[in-house]
Amino acid sequence: MKKISILVPESAVVEAVASPQYVFSAANQFLQANGKEPLFQVNLVGNKKEVKFRNGMFSVRTDLLFDDAKEADLIIIPPLFGDMRSAIALNEAAIPWIVHHYKKGTEIASLCVGAFLLASTGLLKGKKCSTHWAYYNEFRETFPDVEIVDGGVITEDNGIYSSYKVIANDLFIAIDTVRSYIKKIYEKLHVHSKSEAVNKAFKDRLQEETFNGCYL
């Protein structure tokens, strides 16, 4: 089972936290409805047990605090909200946690302007990155050692993903990022499609390493 940690940042777009959680959970429900084992273990991770948004209008309860989230195959960084420098400062506690897990082999994916927090870790130094086009200039000024890919929908470099796209019924979930991660699972199984993955799973009795489709 793939362990997915969705970061719940301070000063974030609340929809961007809920949407990836929904996508991976819906995939698990689809698998279970078809008699298969769920593929993803999804946890909301943050520096507090409850993170408030929009002056307390909304709040998200985390499943795990940073010190308790010891294992992850993929960390998703949602887009920040408001002034980027201020938002990064509010989330400094997340930086060593992200770096620690990446060095352990965890893959990292940023959505939209979540790339600002990802770049703050130093992990993007000398690498390519995607973010929202409206923030290109600010990003280049803030992180001159990171190459912005103009018009790039998604980038992947040594286990680090970034996506500019804001899609899925006006919600901030980069479906392309999820697709790319699932494609990586296929590659590890040496298959090219969900049907091949399912057949291999039945053959090898490795149901937890399959993905039997999702509305992506």
Residue ranges covered by each domain of the chain: 2-209
| CATH H-level, domain 2-209: superfamily | Class I glutamine amidotransferase (GATase) domain (3.40.50.880)
Q: What is the mean pLDDT of the segment spanning 120-131?
A: 94
What is residue 85's three-state secondary structure?
Answer: helix
Placement of tokens 């040496």 in the chain? 190
Write out pLDDT tens, residues 137-196: 999 999 999 999 886 678 888 899 888 754 433 333 344 555 555 555 555 555 555 445
Binning pLDDT at 50, 70 and 90, where does residue 75 land?
very high
Contact 68, 29 (CB under 8 A): no
Residue 212 has pLDDT above 60, yes or no: no
End-to-end CA distance of the chain: 19
In the sheet where 74-77 sits, what is the strand order?
64-65, 40-46, 2-7, 74-77, 107-111, 160-163, 154-157
Placement of tokens 């298959």 in the chain? 191
| Residue 117, amino acid | L
pTM: 0.76
